[in-house]
């Protein structure tokens, strides 16, 4: 159209402003199209599979790693700068597919601030000294009243007993307990009105 018409005539025919027509003509001349592609705003919202695998490897090497440490490691090693929420979302997807124990460990390591941090010497949980017996049972919903080494120790206890009793019919109870603990950790975030894993 611009080959045969002046920009003022194009503006009249298309009922557009002169500025709009001139901008479209310039864009057409520069890019070959009058459609302007918007730039991606901000950081990526999803991680690629290799980036997710890198995060998993970091967690396997250091089970008690913090989200901000994963963020820094991803930026330094792979040149990928994403928000904590993107890392949290990626890890949630990854660990829903497999390793619930690592997910629970990550939740417990990054509990919301409204749950008091209690030193290992003063914990009410004491999973680091836990010995199971036939009398142990779940007496209701789990509520985390502290964070720190005490409740985090449950991950090692569960890992040990899931391995030890993997061929037992009673292993289903351990899986139920694991699911209950994950649900309780997620409930702690919801109670604090913060996104999951935002510590």
pTM given for the model: 0.42
pLDDT, tens digit, for every residue of 27-50? 677 676 766 665 555 566 678 878
The three-state DSSP-derived secondary structure of the chain is CCCCCCHHHHHHHHCCCHHHHHHHHHHHHHHCCCCCCCCCCCCCCCCCHHHHHHHHHHHHHCCCCCHHHHHHHHHHHHCCCCCHHHHHHHHHHHHHHCCHHHHHHHHHHCCCCCCCECCHHHCCCCHHHCCCCCCCCCCCCCCCCCECHHHHCHHHHHHHHHHHCCCCCCHHHHHHHHHHHHHHHHHHHHHHCCCCCCC
- The answer to whether residue 25 scores a pLDDT higher than 60 is yes
- Both tokens of 33, joined, read 């199209």
22-31, 57-66, 139-148: which is most confident = 57-66
Which secondary-structure segment (H or E) carries 76?
helix 67-78
Mean pLDDT check: name the lowest of 20-24, 51-55, 114-118. 20-24
pLDDT, tens digit, for every residue of 60-96? 888 788 889 999 999 999 999 998 888 888 887 766 6
């Amino acid at each position: 159209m611009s080959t045969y018409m002046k920009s003022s005539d194009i503006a009249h025919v298309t009922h557009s402003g002169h500025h709009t027509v001139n901008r479209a003509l310039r864009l057409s001349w520069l890019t070959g199209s009058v459609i302007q592609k918007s730039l991606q705003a901000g950081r990526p919202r999803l991680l690629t599979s290799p980036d997710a695998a890198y995060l998993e490897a970091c967690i396997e090497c250091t089970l008690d790693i913090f989200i901000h440490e994963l963020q820094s490691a991803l930026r330094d090693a792979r040149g990928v700068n994403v928000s904590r929420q993107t890392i949290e979302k990626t890890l949630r997807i990854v660990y829903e597919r497999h390793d619930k124990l690592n997910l629970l460990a990550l939740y417990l390591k990054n509990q919301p601030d409204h749950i008091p941090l209690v030193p290992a010497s003063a914990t009410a949980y004491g999973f680091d000294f836990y010995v199971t017996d036939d009398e142990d049972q779940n007496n209701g919903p789990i509520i985390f009243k502290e964070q720190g080494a005490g409740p985090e120790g449950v991950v090692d206890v569960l890992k040990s007993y899931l391995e030890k009793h993997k061929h037992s019919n009673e292993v289903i109870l351990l899986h139920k307990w694991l699911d209950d603990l994950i649900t309780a950790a997620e409930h702690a975030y919801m109670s604090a009105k913060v996104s999951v894993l935002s510590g």
